[in-house]
Structure 1
Amino acid sequence: MTSTDTPARGQKPAGAVAPSSWLDRTGTPATPTSRHPRRVPHLAAGAMLVVCCAGGTVWWTTSTQDRTPTLAVARAVTVGHVLSMADLRTVDVSASAGTVLVPADEAAGVLGRPMATNLGPGALLTPDAVGAAQLPVPGRAIVAVGVKPGQFPPALTAGAPITAIVTAAGTQPATTGQAPVAGTTWRAIVAGVAPAATDQTTVVSLDLSAADAEALAQVPADRLALVMRPAGGGR
């Protein structure tokens, strides 16, 4: 009696030929499958990045070449202040067409000259910002007050920030007009100081708002005191 071996479940019959890896189960050539996905999007992104970097380099180089060393003020300066090296610094700027600035190599032309206007720290210096005072500007006014020794500091000079204070009335009778009361104050910038004449009166020109100038002009000269404030204190 002949016995026939039955293969166990999961085992291939003896003599069975396993299909080649390039054939599917039906014996038809299988479609090859790549284990590595295509990297075209990544390559495209990389190419764009290179282009952007190259363009940025060209832009930066061009903009740098267009910049010019220019003078700027290193700290606040006021009208009448005489410029020194400590007041200036050099910055590289790319000015728009029509803008006139002072090149850094022309610093000798502005040193020792008075400011014609007030500038804050970092402001670019223009030719018309130096020289004769450009006062008053719109909305401002210049008022002259006559003061005697004891009513102002001897070191008072053009460009100094001051506070004008109405003092109490002396032996003279109080005025009946609209003069401000004692203790009223105004902030101003000294526009000029005229030396005392034979009567020992020094004329100080003050730059302040138009409304304040009109009010200050009504105060009798003997009831004013001028107090200097720290430089850069503003108007």
Structure 2
Amino acid sequence: MNSTDTPARGQKRVGASAPASWLDRTGAPATPTSRRPRKVPHLAAGALLVVLCAGGTVWWTTSTQDRTPTLAVARPVTVGHVLTSADLRTVDVSASPGTALVPADEAASVLGRPMATNLGPGALLTPDAVGAAQLPAPGRAIVAVGVKPGQFPPALTAGTPITVIVTAAPTQPATTAQGPAAGTTWRATVVDVAPAATDQTSVVSLDLTTTDAEALAQVPAGQLALVMQPAGGGR
């Protein structure tokens, strides 16, 4: 009589083969498992962000402390214009060492003084921009013209931007070169207005380019008209 050996619990039967690795315990194909992706080192990224923010804060604080309230021009001003508080505004700038600017707390030192040069809106005010006129500038010249009442506005003063217009063609001998034709115009800035003489002729000194000054000087007196322009339109 043949006896059958029953394997103890937890032991494999002799001669039984283990299921293949691609099979599960029941012998069916096993479901493949995917590997989990590695976690991003969030801690290191967070630490780097903290360092960058701290560095940016230090830089911003330092750059802000280096800025100084400085005077700038709020609207166009021309040569001879007397500065008022409405002409100026305060801006915070970080200037390099040696740059000559006018601090905002020294506004009283420039108010009521004439401009020595022309400046546009937003330009920083410098000490040499105020005071005696720095004329003529390189590439420019001063020319005097004689005008009578009706040929220029009575309110004409130093620093006023104007347009000079030839109202009549100059009468010159045929042997000489013809001067500027009627209707020729030039842009200029008034430097000075001398009181009218006994013949009611006023002498107006004008600042304009060297080339324009030479052309304007060829026009005889009495054949010009001066037209006032808005502030800042002289150059």
Which position in structure 2 is the counterpart of 1:212? 212
Q: Distance in 1 between matches of 2:10 and 2:137?
A: 107
C-alpha separation between the residues in 2 aligned to 1:221 and 1:231? 26
Where do 1:38-49 residues align within 5 Å? 38-40=39-41, 42-49=42-49
Tell me what 1:149 maps to.
Answer: 149
Cα displacement (A) at 1:16: 7.0
Matched with 1:67 is 67
Paired residue total: 204
Post-superposition Cα deviations, 1:52-81, rounded to whole Å, max 9, x if no partner, equal 111111111111111111000100111111
Question: Within 5 Å, which residues of 2 pair with 1:21-100?
Answer: 37-40=38-41, 42-100=42-100
Does residue 175 (structure 1) correspond to residue 166 (structure 2)? The answer is: no
Matches within 5 A, 1:6-17: none
Q: Which contiguous aligned blocks of 4+ residues in structure 1 show a shift greater than 3 angstroms? A: 34-39
AA aligned to 2:217 is: A
Q: Which residue of 2 aligns with 1:21?
A: none
Deviations 1:155-208 (A, max 9, x none): 001111111111125xxx821343111111111111111222333221111111
User: Residue 198 of structure 1 corresponds to which residue in structure 2?
Assistant: 198
Deviations 1:75-95 (A, max 9, x none): 011111110010000001111
For 2:99 and 2:193, the matched residues in 1 are separated by 33
Give the secondary-structure state (helix, strand or coil) at the position aligned to 2:222.
helix
Q: 2: CA distance between counterparts of 1:113 and 1:93?
A: 24
Do structure 1's residue 119 and structure 2's residue 119 form an aligned pair? yes
- Extract unaligned runs of 5+ from structure 1: 1-14, 18-24, 26-33
Mapped to 1, the partners of 2:139 and 2:44 lie a distance apart of: 61
8 Å Cα contact 2:168/2:224 also seen in 1 = no
Larger deviation: 217-226 or 176-185? 176-185
Give 2:139's aligned residue.
139
Structure 2 segments unaligned to the other structure (5+ residues)? 1-8, 12-23, 25-34
1:161 is the counterpart of 2:176: no
For 1:47, give the aligned amino acid. A
TM-score normalised by the chain length of structure 2: 0.81
Are 2:77 and 2:232, in contact at CA under 8 Å, matched by a contact in 1? yes
CA distance in 2, matches of 1:63, 1:87: 28
Percent identity, please.
82
CA distance in 1, matches of 2:121, 2:187: 20
